[in-house]
Amino acid sequence: IHMCCARASCKAYTLDSAKFKPVPVFGNGDIMSFTDWEEQMQHRRQWIQELAELEEEEERRVMNGHGRAADMDKVARKTPEELGLDPYSHLTTCMLARGVLLKPWLPTEIKERRHWDISSSERFDMLKRFADYGLEHWGSDRRGVDSTRRFLLDWISFLHRYVPVGLIEAQYLPQHINDRPPRFQGRNELETLMGSTSVKDWIKISEMLLGPVDENYSFQPKHKANAYETPSQELVDALTETKA
């Protein structure tokens, strides 16, 4: 179930769907940091612990002759809301989904419980490995290079949305998937280039890995986030006139 958009109704729909047992439900999206992950999983752990305590209490009542064995089954069949527990406990687990496209190192952050201020050179090394895997799979001929470049550019259309941890003020950590960060100047030229919203800069990065493209080469990303939409020229002109 997708929970990737900013509207609360989407999350409510996910939680409502999770009430239909015994089907496992996975919340898909919105995980962009280890704190996001731990917050959601903490709801799950808390529910399991509190449910176990309720079942133990009911078992003691049965053993003491104050209840029936059937009452224990009723406890297990109740929803978390009926038991006074957190509604997020319906979720079996959460998928990283788009978060790992923006931050391939997200599993490491979750495992080590930290916000990783990964360097631009380390991120570029990941792109190198991706390009190597592509050429190994599709071949190093013209067709293979073009296929590798196309998939690489599709990935960069997600990667550029990451804002380095070292550039974010502490009160705004962690970055959320629906944030609308302003354009920023990186700590070096490569970091600035990797954060560019321009397709021309994405192609430039691909040329650093796969060689130059033809003069008329163009790329149209398949996925375009509204939060990162480039303003129209009309809007830019209107804002310029307003400032003047």
What's the pLDDT band for 2 if we cut at 50, 70, 90?
very low
d(Cα 209, Cα 145) in Å, to the nearest integer? 10
Residue 145 reports pLDDT greater than 70: yes
Percent of the chain scoring above 70 in pLDDT: 58
- What single DSSP character describes residue 2? B
3-state helix vs strand vs coil in the chain, percent to 5: 55, 5, 40
Query: For position 64, what pLDDT does the model report?
Result: 66
Closest CA to 86 of 36, 50, 57, 58: 50
Instruction: List, for residues 39-51, the tens digit of each pLDDT value.
Output: 777 766 565 666 6
Instruction: List, for residues 62-91, the tens digit of each pLDDT value.
Output: 666 655 555 545 545 555 555 555 555 555
Instruction: List, for residues 155-175, the tens digit of each pLDDT value.
Output: 999 999 999 988 887 777 788
φ, ψ for residue 99 (rounded to 5)?
Answer: -60, -35
Query: For position 209, what pLDDT does the model report?
Result: 96
Token duo for residue 226? 């509204």
26-28 vs 93-95, strand pairing mode = parallel
Tally of CA atoms within 13 A in the half-sphere of 221 that contains its CB = 22
CA 175 to chain centre: 10
For residue 123, CA distances in Å to 16, 128, 187, 220 come to 39, 9, 14, 23
Instruction: List, for residues 229-239, the tens digit of each pLDDT value.
Output: 444 444 445 54
Residue 175 near residue 163 (C-beta atoms within 8 A): yes
